[in-house]
Chain A
Amino acid sequence: MKDPKKQTPITTHTSPYNPITELTWFALVVACVKLLLAPAYHSTDFEVHRHWLALTRTLPLSQWYSDNTSPWTLDYPPFFAHFERFLSLFARLVDPTIVDLHKGLNYSSPSVIIFQRISVIVSDTALMYGVYRLTRNLESRKRILICVLVVWSPGLLIVDHVHFQYNGFLLGILLLSLSFLEEGKDLMGGFLFAVLLCFKHLFAVAAPVYFVYLFRHYCRGGFVRGFGRLVMMGVVVAVVFAAAYGPFVYHGQIHQVLRRMFPFGRGLCHAYWAPNFWVFYIIFDKVLAFLLAKLGFNIQAPTASFTGGLVGDSSPFAVLPQITPLITFMMVLLAISPCLIKAWRDPQPRMITRWVAYAYTCGFLFGWHVHEKASLHFVIPLAIVALRSMEDARHYFLLSIVSCYSLFPLLFEAQEYPIKVLLLLLHSILMWFGFSSQFKTTAAKASAPGQKRGDKVGKNWSSSTVAKKGGFVVRWIEKSYLLGLLVVETWGQFLHPILLGNRFPFLPLMIISIYCALGMMYSWIWQLRWIIRSR
């Protein structure tokens, strides 16, 4: 009724609401859903974090890393411990038992569950702020779409709000750091990254990229100025690390801290194989051993068993050489090197997000004892660049679905099954709508410059014309790969129990690992190609 008045020229993308209102609104809607998920299944990580609350609350700092009350010893860097101590201030008010070192063990009353769940939800504000800072200069439609991709990321919801961890908060710091780097404020970016490393050291995989980039981008402009800046950056980082580890050095605990943070004796793969390169290596070894045995060679069966044996010291390989942490380290460095060379030659602020994401991809694919959750480290930053081109969108569409699907085994109980499926489904639908609207408009604009983008284009819009005008389409090979996920899921959930019963219980998980590893390798190659080709 009022519409004729309301129709504004189409070129303006301004909305009556400012970006903060919209982002807050969306974040609150998501927070409501997160709150509803509170009674869902939570993993042992829940008790881990509860124990850390009690530990940091009751013990003095010097004993944080030497306490043995629970098997879940503190193995995150000091800032995270301080974060837990900060949370414990409130936990004590909610229910004193939560922070009781002994009585609180395996405490699972509603109070602790709601408190910890809400702590994750509230700490996600860091993520919101990171997204806001990274996208505030974009046009409103792109901004809101990226915000949806990150805030409504099904992987984050599954890992943080069902499985239980604080990744949203940590990724928020990473995004903040990236936002400063993209704006050219390198010192602040470097500072935040150092802080992040003192929260969770797994983020260190991107440190080489940061180092090269900051060295070449921040420390330039002549020898004197460059050297001055290098010293400045060095001082900032050193101060951060000193603040984190200094007290432990003072207490003579630093060895204990490092021993806890880098536990040796864990295997190449986690109990459920993260979908990375080593999955192929293991499978290749098995196939080779099988074939050689058929040919009459005397192959000694590995002492470790097929599933569980991968955790532990014993060599699980029958034919292929044993993999040591050093080898994986070298392989990660080697894989990152093209990106380092690029960053050395031409350090551009608008490329840094991609480079960092690429580094995490390499770390995920070739790293030692990688968790499947680590795929979030590159899926979330890549969301920021997903709208820069259609190729990006297409790649992100595939990658985020594969990454989310590879997290499915984390929630293995029947109760959460519809939740994870619906989360992924909704995410895919939103991505599909978002990308197709985004690239439809750009295509329409390109085809009819200066003309009004009106109903006419929208009306006769069918899938065939989309392809011609360069709208968002998923190629058949990607489409069939994604449909294959359906087959894998149907096999694991329905066909396997019916056809094979209880035999080969590891098979469904293994198939998921292998199949998702294919997608991850594709994503790695795609990103590598993109980085090499980019100018």
Chain B
Amino acid sequence: MENKNGMKTVEDADSNDDNTWWWVVHKGIAASFLCISVFALLVRVAVSLHPYSGAGNPPKYGDYEAQRHWMEITLNLPAKEWYHNSTTNDLSYWGLDYPPLTAYQSYLHGLFLRSFHPDSVSLYTSRGHESYLGKLLMRWTVLCSDALTFFPAVLYFAAAYHSGRPSRRKSNIAWHITMILLNPCLILIDHGHFQYNCISLGLTVGAVAAILSNRDLVGCVLFSLALNHKQMSAYFAPPFFSYLLGKCLRGWSPLFEVSKLGLAVLGTFAVVWWPYLHSTEAVLKVLSRLAPFERGIYEDYVANFWCTTSVIIKWKRLFTVPSMKLISFGATVSTCLPSMVQQIWAPSKQGFLYGLLNSSFSFYLFSFQVHEKSILLPLLPATLLALEEPFLFRWITHYAMLSMFPLLCRDQLILPYVALFALFILLYYAPGGRQDTRRAHFPATLKSFVIAFLVSCSLILHIIYLTMRPPKKYPFLFEALIMLLCFSQFMLLAIYTNTKQWMLLKHSTVIDKEKKDH
């Protein structure tokens, strides 16, 4: 229903865009969405032809083997033993470390795999299973998940977001949908490297869309599901919490509203955690699997605060793991506090979107045990804001790609990396796609000089990383350089978006005042 309403409201916006691609978008959101999503699916299928992480690399393989192993475990063992270390379930070999919804999803996909290729998910014997059909079926499970969760969520979001905006130029909407659906990072990680981020991110997008269209209960349920699919979705929890709290406080009965939403969240959690609710011990066991503190504060060369500053300060040597936990927790909370306060103070939909970006940034930069792939989480709100912040969006995508470059090189995904990066830039600058509506804040020459410098830096780093060998004394020199560059950019962007969110407050109060004056 929402879609149809969205379409109608868009219909009476300017239908005579004077560009040559008008015929693709002239039929409204749903039609252009159909077109774009088929193209996006095609690109995903094409990427899925390429190798996955850990292909032909025993004994541990990679994320592909992890996902396949979870299918094997969930399919062959009862739910109570999924998180339980036993002779049949060796948790040290890719033990399940995501919440139950991931386990259910693995179970469903396992059923699919078993019906076509039983060998690939049989208990014990299928470890390290690699075959043409096995790869194909696994790839298709990701494709299906993407098409069934992320794509509809994006359609919902597009309808919800654009029905509340003053300018409804159809090409802008189409451009926005394209940017969300053809985000190179997400495609490379899900369909190249092999993961199911599309499900948790799709649920999050759905939750955001529900909130934007004032269906707070639906939003709560969807976001709880996202949390239950990947605990990393907690990066988005502060803005959801603060926006909804702020909104409830302004309602006629705060306590009632809060308890309603709380019940929805608790109910969702109860349903998902049902097999483990029989004893606190079982719940704690699952919880301990979800928080792998033993893996250290950061992994590989992730462009966050701890890893970057560890070049100078050896955090791992200075502090023990428990104190490090506290320090990182404190840093994360204190950095996302301003954005939370702003939302509780003056909840607004736009502020909510900025809040998502700010809090995911502070989690990425300061929280415990962050992975390179976690950049997908700040990237998501940035794509949702792409129309308002086109430059920010392009910049974060650029550096998110760069920050994942070493990882994707290891997976032998350089070709799709190059192709998708080029495709992204082309689509970003699509003729007649988006009309730039903002003026430059800086002097144009200085800005373009800085941008050109940074872009060429990253280009040179790409080439150096591919062609040159690091000196023997510093084998990870290039990774560290990439990390430094990315971190500096992410940090700057985070500061910018935080100020931007607070500027919204000033802006909106000015508008309120003007309204009162009139």
> Which residues from chain A sit less than 8 Å from chain B, CB to CB?
1-3, 6-8, 10, 12-17, 21-22, 25, 28-29, 32-33, 35-40, 114, 140-141, 143-145, 414-415, 418-419, 422-423, 425-426, 429-430, 433-434, 437-438, 453-455, 458-459
Within the complex, the shortest CB–CB distance from B208 to chain A, in Å, comes to 23
With a cutoff of 8 Å between Cβ atoms, the chain B residues found around residue A16 in the complex are: 19, 431-432
Cross-chain contact A418 with B45 (CB below 8 angstroms): yes
Cross-chain contact B27 with A433 (CB below 8 angstroms): yes
Within the complex, the shortest CB–CB distance from A263 to chain B, in Å, comes to 34
Given contacts A8-B18, A36-B49, 12 further A-B contacts (CB under 8 A): A16-B432, A25-B431, A35-B415, A35-B418, A36-B46, A38-B415, A415-B132, A418-B143, A419-B46, A426-B38, A433-B24, A459-B11
Cross-chain contact B419 with A35 (CB below 8 angstroms): yes
Cα of A429 to Cα of B33 in the assembled complex, Å: 11
With a cutoff of 8 Å between Cβ atoms, the chain B residues found around residue A15 in the complex are: 18-20, 431-432
For the complex, is B119 an interface residue (Cβ under 8 Å from A)?
no
With a cutoff of 8 Å between Cβ atoms, the chain A residues found around residue B31 in the complex are: 433
Q: Known contacts A1-B167, A141-B20, A419-B45; is A32 also within 8 Å of B14 by CB?
A: no
With a cutoff of 8 Å between Cβ atoms, the chain B residues found around residue A419 in the complex are: 42, 45-46
Within the complex, the shortest CB–CB distance from B27 to chain A, in Å, comes to 7
Within the complex, the shortest CB–CB distance from B332 to chain A, in Å, comes to 37
For the complex, is B475 an interface residue (Cβ under 8 Å from A)?
no
* Partner of B43 from A36, A114, A415 at Cβ < 8 Å: A36
Cross-chain contact B35 with A29 (CB below 8 angstroms): no
* Partner of B35 from A2, A32, A433, A459 at Cβ < 8 Å: A433
Cross-chain contact B23 with A437 (CB below 8 angstroms): yes
Main secondary structure of the interface of A (DSSP, over half): helix
For the complex, is B86 an interface residue (Cβ under 8 Å from A)?
no
Q: Which of B5-19 contact A (CB under 8 A)?
A: 11-12, 14-16, 18-19
Cross-chain contact A141 with B23 (CB below 8 angstroms): yes
Cα of A422 to Cα of B140 in the assembled complex, Å: 14
Cross-chain contact B169 with A3 (CB below 8 angstroms): yes
Cα of A114 to Cα of B49 in the assembled complex, Å: 14
With a cutoff of 8 Å between Cβ atoms, the chain B residues found around residue A454 in the complex are: 15-16
Q: Known contacts A415-B132, A422-B41; is A33 also within 8 Å of B46 by CB?
A: yes
Cross-chain contact B415 with A114 (CB below 8 angstroms): yes
With a cutoff of 8 Å between Cβ atoms, the chain B residues found around residue A35 in the complex are: 415, 418-419
> Which residues from chain B sit less than 8 Å from chain A, CB to CB?
11-12, 14-16, 18-24, 26-27, 31, 34-35, 38-39, 41-43, 45-47, 49-50, 132-133, 136, 140, 143, 166-167, 169, 415-416, 418-420, 422-423, 426-427, 429-432, 435, 437
Cα of A38 to Cα of B47 in the assembled complex, Å: 10
With a cutoff of 8 Å between Cβ atoms, the chain B residues found around residue A25 in the complex are: 426, 429-431
* Partner of B34 from A423, A429, A434, A459 at Cβ < 8 Å: A429
21 contacts between A and B (CB under 8 A): A1-B166, A1-B437, A7-B14, A7-B16, A7-B18, A10-B16, A25-B431, A33-B46, A36-B47, A36-B49, A36-B50, A36-B416, A40-B46, A144-B20, A414-B133, A422-B38, A426-B42, A429-B35, A433-B23, A433-B27, A453-B16
Cross-chain contact B45 with A434 (CB below 8 angstroms): no
* Partner of A29 from B14, B15, B426 at Cβ < 8 Å: B426
Cross-chain contact B12 with A459 (CB below 8 angstroms): yes
Q: With contacts defined as CB atoms under 8 Å apart, how many contacts are there between chain A and chain B in the complex?
A: 135
With a cutoff of 8 Å between Cβ atoms, the chain A residues found around residue B422 in the complex are: 28, 32
Q: Known contacts A15-B18, A35-B415, A453-B16; is A6 also within 8 Å of B435 by CB?
A: yes
Within the complex, the shortest CB–CB distance from B500 to chain A, in Å, comes to 18
Cross-chain contact B39 with A426 (CB below 8 angstroms): yes
Cα of A114 to Cα of B50 in the assembled complex, Å: 13
With a cutoff of 8 Å between Cβ atoms, the chain B residues found around residue A28 in the complex are: 422, 426
Cross-chain contact B49 with A40 (CB below 8 angstroms): yes
Within the complex, the shortest CB–CB distance from B95 to chain A, in Å, comes to 31
Cα of A466 to Cα of B431 in the assembled complex, Å: 29
Cross-chain contact B35 with A3 (CB below 8 angstroms): no
With a cutoff of 8 Å between Cβ atoms, the chain B residues found around residue A10 in the complex are: 16, 18
With a cutoff of 8 Å between Cβ atoms, the chain B residues found around residue A8 in the complex are: 18
Q: Known contacts A17-B432, A38-B415, A433-B31; is A33 also within 8 Å of B23 by CB?
A: no
Cross-chain contact A39 with B49 (CB below 8 angstroms): yes
With a cutoff of 8 Å between Cβ atoms, the chain A residues found around residue B437 in the complex are: 1-2
6 cross-chain pairs, A with B, having the tightest CB-CB distances, nearest first: A437-B23, A36-B46, A32-B423, A35-B419, A422-B42, A17-B431
Which of A25, A37, A40 has the most chain B CB within a 10 Å cutoff? A25
Within the complex, the shortest CB–CB distance from A96 to chain B, in Å, comes to 20
Cα of A200 to Cα of B18 in the assembled complex, Å: 42
Q: Known contacts A1-B437, A141-B20; is A455 also within 8 Å of B45 by CB?
A: no
With a cutoff of 8 Å between Cβ atoms, the chain B residues found around residue A459 in the complex are: 11-12
Cross-chain contact A33 with B35 (CB below 8 angstroms): no
Cross-chain contact B11 with A437 (CB below 8 angstroms): no
* Partner of A438 from B23, B34, B419, B426 at Cβ < 8 Å: B23
With a cutoff of 8 Å between Cβ atoms, the chain B residues found around residue A415 in the complex are: 49, 132, 136
With a cutoff of 8 Å between Cβ atoms, the chain B residues found around residue A6 in the complex are: 18, 435
Cross-chain contact A32 with B26 (CB below 8 angstroms): no
Cross-chain contact B38 with A425 (CB below 8 angstroms): yes
Cα of A459 to Cα of B16 in the assembled complex, Å: 12
With a cutoff of 8 Å between Cβ atoms, the chain A residues found around residue B27 in the complex are: 433
Residue of A with least CB distance to B32? A433
Cα of A7 to Cα of B435 in the assembled complex, Å: 12
With a cutoff of 8 Å between Cβ atoms, the chain A residues found around residue B21 in the complex are: 144
Within the complex, the shortest CB–CB distance from B195 to chain A, in Å, comes to 19
Cα of A418 to Cα of B416 in the assembled complex, Å: 18
Cα of A15 to Cα of B420 in the assembled complex, Å: 27
With a cutoff of 8 Å between Cβ atoms, the chain A residues found around residue B26 in the complex are: 433, 437, 458
Within the complex, the shortest CB–CB distance from A304 to chain B, in Å, comes to 34
With a cutoff of 8 Å between Cβ atoms, the chain B residues found around residue A37 in the complex are: 46, 49
With a cutoff of 8 Å between Cβ atoms, the chain A residues found around residue B38 in the complex are: 422, 425-426, 429
Cross-chain contact B23 with A3 (CB below 8 angstroms): no
With a cutoff of 8 Å between Cβ atoms, the chain A residues found around residue B136 in the complex are: 414-415
Cα of A36 to Cα of B169 in the assembled complex, Å: 31
With a cutoff of 8 Å between Cβ atoms, the chain A residues found around residue B133 in the complex are: 414
With a cutoff of 8 Å between Cβ atoms, the chain A residues found around residue B430 in the complex are: 25
With a cutoff of 8 Å between Cβ atoms, the chain A residues found around residue B42 in the complex are: 33, 419, 422-423, 426
Cα of A114 to Cα of B26 in the assembled complex, Å: 38
Which of B15, B31, B140 has the most chain A CB within a 10 Å cutoff? B15
Residue of B with least CB distance to A40? B49
Residue of B with least CB distance to A419? B45
Within the complex, the shortest CB–CB distance from B188 to chain A, in Å, comes to 11
Residue of A with least CB distance to B166? A1
Cα of A437 to Cα of B49 in the assembled complex, Å: 35
With a cutoff of 8 Å between Cβ atoms, the chain A residues found around residue B429 in the complex are: 25
Within the complex, the shortest CB–CB distance from B413 to chain A, in Å, comes to 11
Residue of B with least CB distance to A32? B423
Cα of A145 to Cα of B437 in the assembled complex, Å: 28
Residue of A with least CB distance to B34? A429
With a cutoff of 8 Å between Cβ atoms, the chain B residues found around residue A21 in the complex are: 431
Cross-chain contact A437 with B18 (CB below 8 angstroms): no
Cα of A365 to Cα of B34 in the assembled complex, Å: 36
Within the complex, the shortest CB–CB distance from B328 to chain A, in Å, comes to 39
Cα of A21 to Cα of B136 in the assembled complex, Å: 38
With a cutoff of 8 Å between Cβ atoms, the chain B residues found around residue A1 in the complex are: 166-167, 437
Within the complex, the shortest CB–CB distance from B90 to chain A, in Å, comes to 32
With a cutoff of 8 Å between Cβ atoms, the chain B residues found around residue A434 in the complex are: 23-24
With a cutoff of 8 Å between Cβ atoms, the chain B residues found around residue A114 in the complex are: 415
Cα of A425 to Cα of B431 in the assembled complex, Å: 24
With a cutoff of 8 Å between Cβ atoms, the chain B residues found around residue A433 in the complex are: 23-24, 26-27, 31, 35
With a cutoff of 8 Å between Cβ atoms, the chain A residues found around residue B34 in the complex are: 429
Within the complex, the shortest CB–CB distance from A444 to chain B, in Å, comes to 11
Q: Known contacts A17-B432, A426-B38, A426-B39; is A140 also within 8 Å of B167 by CB?
A: no
Residue of B with least CB distance to A157? B42
Within the complex, the shortest CB–CB distance from B518 to chain A, in Å, comes to 21
* Partner of A32 from B22, B419, B432 at Cβ < 8 Å: B419
Cross-chain contact B35 with A430 (CB below 8 angstroms): yes
With a cutoff of 8 Å between Cβ atoms, the chain B residues found around residue A38 in the complex are: 415
